[in-house]
Amino acid sequence: MSPKQEFFSSLLQPHLPALKSTAMRLARRSADAEDLLQESFFKAYRSLDQFQKNTNFRAWIFRILVNTYITSYRKKSRQPQKISYDDLEEHILYKHVLEEALPNMEERMQNGHMDFDDDILLALNRLPQPFRLVILLCDVEGFSYNEIAQIIGCPLGTVMSRLYRGRKLLQRQLWGYAKNRGYIDESTRLKK
């Protein structure tokens, strides 16, 4: 193994599990996730001389992964998915949850105490790609808003907006799940 390969491997090893899980969540199929990882690692290795030592390698490699995914996503889809934000009714749902939900539900969700099972993964996978991407990077991988903005190459305000809207979409999709698990009182009804 060459010194460059050893150096790259030593930088990459601690982040492999997070990179693999993020690639799987983005690509949704293991074969596509493996292709995404392979292409990302190739690009990272090829441009390793551009990486500045003593900087955040994790953010650098995730940016390459995300950019590779976005490039392939754009190639696969002829037109971006269109969403009418007015139809989301996010403000009504958010207000309803704050008024009617059990007092500690929001805190439990933010602190990660909810089970991360198939219903949640399915709801996460149903999100449009821009929203799913920022939720994965923030809520699953733990990147800061600034790091996410650097990774996906967009303004901080866009990251915050996508995160807000994505969380509201998830909240809408997971209403029944939360009710069945006891996070929401049985007498509570979703107001439309």
Residue 63 sits in a domain whose CATH number is 1.10.1740.10
Q: Is residue 158 part of a domain?
A: yes
Q: Is residue 188 part of a domain?
A: no
Can you tell me the mean pLDDT for 42-69? 92
- pLDDT at residue 182 is higher than 80: no
pLDDT tens digits, one per residue of 90-115? 444 544 544 554 444 445 455 554 44
pTM: 0.58
Question: Do residues 142 and 124 touch, judged by C-beta distance below 8 A?
Answer: no
- Domain endpoint, select from 76, 99, 121: 76
For residues 24 and 71, state if they share a domain: yes
Predicted confidence at residue 190, as pLDDT, reads 54
For residues 173 and 99, state if they share a domain: yes
Can you tell me the mean pLDDT for 82-91? 48
Q: Which domain holds residue 112?
A: 85-180
For residues 109 and 174, state if they share a domain: yes
Q: Give residue 174's pLDDT band: very low, low, confident or very high (50, 70, 90).
A: confident
Q: Give residue 180's pLDDT band: very low, low, confident or very high (50, 70, 90).
A: confident
Task: Kindly list the distances between the CA atom of residue 187 and the CA atoms of 115, 158, 190, in Å, as whole numbers in the listed order.
Answer: 22, 37, 10
Q: How many domains would you assign to the chain?
A: 2
CA dist 175 and 179 (Å) reads: 6
- pLDDT at residue 138 is higher than 50: yes
For residues 45 and 110, state if they share a domain: no
For residues 96 and 67, state if they share a domain: no
For residues 176 and 90, state if they share a domain: yes
- pLDDT at residue 3 is higher than 60: yes
Which residues touch 72 (CB under 8 Å, ≥6 apart)? Answer: 36, 39
For residues 108 and 70, state if they share a domain: no
For residues 111 and 160, state if they share a domain: yes
For residues 150 and 123, state if they share a domain: yes
For residues 46 and 65, state if they share a domain: yes
3-class SS string, 160-172: HHHHHHHHHHHHH
For residues 71 and 133, state if they share a domain: no
Predicted confidence at residue 21, as pLDDT, reads 92
